[in-house]
Chains A and B, each alone.
Chain A
Amino acid sequence: MRRLLMALCTLALTACATTPEPAPQPEQATPVTAPQPEAAKPEDPEAFRAKMPQPAKPPDLVLPTFEEARLDNGLTVLVSTRRQLPLVYVGMAFAAGSAQDPAGLAGASDIAYKMLLEGAGGKDTIALDNAFADLGVSPSVSVNPDGAFVGVRVLTRNVEPALALLSDVVRKPTFAPKDFERRKKQQLADLVRRMGSPSFLAQQAYLTAVFGEKHPYAHPVGGVPSTVEKVSLQDVKRFYQQQVGPKAAALVVTGDVTKEQALAWAQKHFGDWKGAAALPPVPPAPPVPPRELVRLVAKPGLEQTFVMVGRPGIAIGHSDEYALELATTVFGGFFGSRLNMNLREAKGYTYGAGAGSDARLGVGPLTVYSAVRANVTGPAVTEFMRELTDIKARPITSQELEAAREGLIRAYPGSFETVSGLGASAAALFFKRRPMDEFARTVAGLEKATPAEVQRVAEAYLNPAVMQIILVGDPELVRTQVGPLNLGRLTPVEVAGAGAPAAAGKK
C-alpha cells in the first residue's frame, strides 16, 4: 500500500538526487554476488572485500497497528500509538472525494473542502489561520479521488486547542460568499498555472483516455476550467451537506496518545456531531478497450517528451492485488526495474522511468511513465512497447521475483516512521474501506504470491494491446518519430490551455 500511495510522485524529484525511482533487476545486471577480482589471493588482507557480507538473521517485521472504534453518532475513530516524541497528528478523513463531484461540476468537492479553511466557528479566514499558527502549524486539506483529509501535526501540549479548531473547521464552516468567490478564482488561476506542467497536461489527457469521458475517475481532482467556472456556492454547500457527516468520516489520531485518550477527545469534540451523510457508492469498473489512438498534447519546443502509458488496473482488495504489485515492481517499480535500467542506465534517454498500479476503492489506473529527451521520443516509445511485450516473451525470472518480494516486504517497517505518515495510512485505510490489519495482510499476500500467478497477472495486465498512449511534447517531432511506429492513429488532444500559455481571460 505504501507504494500505491506513492506511485505517481516520483517525477517530482529534487534537482540533484541520484534518484530512486520505483522494481528489481534485468538479466544483464544479475543480482549480485561480487565478481572475484584477480588480486584476491589468500594473503591479501583486503580479500574479504570481494565477497558480499552474509546478513544476520532478519529482525521480526514491526508493522504499525491501528485501533478502530465508533462513536454513537457513527463517527469512526482510528488510533495508532507511537510515543517516542511529544508529537500528535490529528486529522479528519472524509469518505467522499472527487469521484463524488456532481455531473458537470468537476472540481466542486475540491473547492468545498478548501472552503473549510476559509473561515469556521465564527473566525474569518485570517483569524482561523492565526489560531492554527499560534499552535505552530498551517493546516492544509488534500482531496483525492476516494476521499479528503484535513489535519495537523502538533506538540502533545497543543492537541486540545488543535482539536477544538479542527472541530470548528469540520462542523461549522462559514461558507461566506466573498470567500467562495475568491477561492473559486484562485482555483481557476491554479488550473492555468498547472497547464505549464508537462506532467499535468499528460495526466489530464490520460484520465479521459483510460476511464472514458463520464467515469467518476476521469477528471483531475481540481476539475477543469469549464466545470469550475460553473460551480456555485450553492453547489458547494450542497456537497458538504450531502457528503460530510459523522457516518462518512473518521477522526484520525496518531502518535503520543492512547486509544482511551483519543476516544475521550473524539467524544468531547465530535460526540454530538449529527448528519445523515453515508458512505458513497464504489465507482464502477470501466471497460478496457484496445488502443486505437496515440494521443498527443502539443507543447511546441519542449526539450523533453512526457510519455504516459496505461489502462484501468484493479480495485483494492482484488485477488490479483499482491501478484500485480510484484509484477509492476519487477517491470517498473524499483530503480533497478527492467524499464528504468533500460531507459535510464542502458540508453541514457531519461532521468528516470517507472510504473505503478494505483489500487483505489474502485478500479484505479495502472501507469507507466517517463520524461524522455525530445530527440529520442520514437526510440523511447519503442522501448516502452518492447518491455511490455517482453513480459510475455522473457518471463519474470525467479531472481527478479524474489528480489521484488524481499525488497517490498522488508521495506515496510521503515515506511511508517512519522506520525503524519501513520495518519495518512489510517486515512487511506478508511477511504479504501479496508480492515485495520491491512498491512499484515499485504505482507502475507506478498509472501504467498506464486511465480505462476505473478507471471499470469503480468501478462494479463501489462498487455501492450490495451495500453493507451499519451505524449506531451513538440508536435512536429512526435509526428515524425512516433507516426511511423504504427501504434495507433496519432490524434491531437486539446486539454484546456495547453500550448496556449498566458492569460486565461477573465479575472
Chain B
Amino acid sequence: MKAFVAAAVLALGLPALAQEAKPLEPGREALAIPHEKYKLKNGLEVILSVDRKLPVVAVNLWYHVGAYHETQGRTGFAHLFEHMMFQGSKNVADDVHISMLEQLGATDLNGTTNFDRTNYFETVPSNHLETALWLESDRMGFLLDALTQEKLTTQQEVVKNERRQGTEAAPYGIAHEKMWHALFPLPHPYHGDVIGSMADLEAATPEDVKSFFRKWYAPSNATLAIVGDFDVAKTKALVEKYFGSLPSAPKPEKPQVAPTKLSQETVIRHEETVATLPLLTLAWHSPAYLSEGDATADVLATVLATGKASRLYKRLVMDKQIAQSVDATQQSLGSQSVFSIEVVARPGVSTDTLKKEVDAVLEEIRKNGVTAEEVNRARTRYDTTFLAGLQSIGGFGGKADVLQNYNHFIGEPSYVAQDLARYQAVTPEQVKRFANDMLRPNARVVLHAVPPQQAPAAPKENK
C-alpha cells in the first residue's frame, strides 16, 4: 500500500499537528475530509466522517498490528489470524460473516494484512450500518469463544493455497521471496513476505491464535472509521452500544527493531520455473514511510518508469528494445522502505545486459540529476491520484482508508495538505542526491530470475 506521503514534517520532529490540519491551498479544498475523532473508555479510537453522495456507509477497522509484530518462527501469522476473524465468533455463526454481508448488498468487502497493519472493511447500504457494527464488534470482543482446531486447520489449508497461488505457482513468486529474504535477514520481521513460510503456516496452533488475539486485538490497539451517509448522534450511540463494553487491555508496545543495512552487493541467481521471460530486479533499503526522502523516492520512481517518456522505459523499451516492461517503486513501509527497479527482458536478452543499461541510466541521474519538468509532471500526477482516491468512501484508497492511514502513521487523520506539501517541496537537486546517497551499487540486492534456456518454441496454434 502506497500513497499518501508527508516527510518534511517528520524531519521537524512532528510538530503539534493534532487539532488544526493545515488549510488547503485554493483549488485544493476538495481534498479536505471533514471528520470527528474521539476515543471510547476502553481505548478504541473512532473516526466519523459524513458523506451523503450515495446511501451507503463504509465501516473500516484498522488493528495496529501486521507482519512486523510477529515473533520468529511464526511468519505469516498476522495474515493467518486475519482469516480466522472471518470464521465466526460467539454470536455470529461459523463462516457466515462474508455471506451475510454479501446478502445485504455490501461492496468493498475484505480484510487485508501488510507489514504494518491489518484492516477489515465493508461498504453497506446505509440501513445496514448497525449490522456491520454488530459483526465487527462480535469478532473484536468474542472471537475466542468460537475458536476450534478444525476451523484453524481449514484456514491453514486456505492460506497455503493462497501462498501457492501467489508464490509457488505465480510468475517470479519464489524469486521475489528470495529477494526479501536477502533484504531483511532474520530476525528482522520484514523477512520473507507477509504470507509467511509453509513450515510456519503448518506449525500454527490454537494457542498461538489465542495469545495473538489477546495481545494485539484489544480495543486499545484498534481504530474504527465510519464514513458515508449516516446520522452522527445515532451512530455514536450505536458505537457505544456495540464497542463500549468490550473489555479493555493496555495498548501493546510496538517492538523495537534495528534497521537493516546492506554493506555489499548481494547477487541472487534464480532458476525460474513459472515465468517465461527473464527478470532483473534491483532493490535498496530506503527511508521509512513519511520520513525525509520518502517523497523524493516516489518522485524518482515516477521519473524512472512511469509513462513511455520515463527514463528507463524510453531507453530500454523504446530505444534499445531489449526490455518488455520496466517498473520502479518506492514501497513505503513503517520501519524501513524498499526502493526497487524491475525489468522484464525481451526473449533472448540476458539480465546482465539489462543490468548494464539500468546502471547507465542511474549513473546519468547521479551525475546530472533530473529536470524540473520531470519533477513537475510527477507532482501533477500525485495531485490527480490523491483526489481520485477520495471518490470512494471505502475500499483501498477510499476516504476511510485515507483517514485510517494517516491516523495509523501520524496520529492525525487529516494529513492530506501536509502530505501533498512534501511533494511540492521535492527539488531536482534532492532527487539527484537521493540517487547518489541511497541507490549505491554496493548496498543493494540484485535478482536475476531466468527461465532455463530452451530451443525457441515455434509458436503453434491450437489443434
Contacts and interface: CB of A to CB of B under 8 A. Distances in A.
Nearest to A227: B461
Contacts of A48: 241
A32 interface: yes
Nearest to A209: B462
A50 B89 CA distance: 11
Given A17-B112, A373-B161, A46 B245 contact: yes
A493 B103 contact: no
Interface stretch (B13-21, B262-270, B271-279, B404-412): B271-279
Interface in A149-193: 153-155, 182, 185-186, 189-193
Nearest to A155: B384
A67 to B, nearest CB: 19
Contacts of A318: none
Interface in B137-164: 137-138, 142, 153-154, 156-158, 160-162, 164
A196 B344 CA distance: 12
B70 interface: no
A171 B455 CA distance: 43
Q: How large is the interface on A (under 10, 10 to 19, 20 to 34, 35 or more residues)?
A: 35 or more
Interface string A496-507: 110011111111
A289 interface: no
A436 interface: no
A49 B55 contact: no
A227 B461 CA distance: 9
A435 interface: no
Contacts of B99: 24-25, 29, 31-32, 334-336, 341, 403
A306 B39 CA distance: 48
B36 to A, nearest CB: 20
Interface in B195-217: 195
B12 interface: no
A225 B459 contact: yes
Given A34-B91, A185-B346, A336-B98, 13 more contacts: A20-B98, A29-B94, A31-B100, A45-B245, A52-B131, A87-B384, A129-B307, A155-B387, A193-B324, A204-B462, A345-B154, A407-B105, A507-B347
Contact of B113 (A16, A135, A494): A16
Interface stretch (A54-62, A94-102, A235-243, A361-369): A54-62
Interface string B67-97: 0000000000001001101100011111110
B308 interface: yes
Contacts of B241: 48
28 contacts: A20-B109, A25-B96, A29-B99, A34-B92, A35-B93, A37-B91, A49-B91, A49-B137, A55-B104, A55-B127, A56-B130, A87-B391, A135-B380, A138-B308, A189-B346, A190-B324, A193-B275, A198-B169, A198-B274, A304-B165, A348-B158, A372-B161, A414-B123, A417-B53, A418-B391, A496-B461, A501-B272, A505-B456
Interface of A: 11, 13-20, 24-25, 29, 31-32, 34-35, 37, 45-46, 48-50, 52-53, 55-60, 62, 84-87, 117, 125-126, 129-130, 132-138, 153-155, 182, 185-186, 189-193, 195-198, 204-205, 208, 213, 224-227, 229, 301-304, 334-336, 341, 344-346, 348-351, 371-373, 403-404, 406-415, 417-420, 493-497, 500-507
A414 B460 contact: no
Nearest to A157: B27
Contact of B462 (A18, A37, A213, A408): A213
A356 B460 CA distance: 29
A32 B307 contact: no
Contacts of B85: 18
Contacts of B274: 196, 198, 302
B85, B128, B137 pick with most chain A CB within 10 angstroms: B128
A153 B384 contact: yes
Interface stretch (B329-337, B355-363, B446-454): B446-454
B212 to A, nearest CB: 16
Contact of A59 (B55, B123, B130): B55
A136 B102 contact: no
A60 B459 contact: no
B451 A502 contact: yes
Contacts of B82: 16, 18
Given A126-B308, A494-B462, A501-B276, A406 B105 contact: yes
B309 A133 contact: yes
Contacts of B462: 204-205, 208, 213, 493-495
B130 A226 contact: no
Given A49-B90, A49-B138, A371 B165 contact: yes
A495 B138 CA distance: 50
Contacts of A137: 381, 384
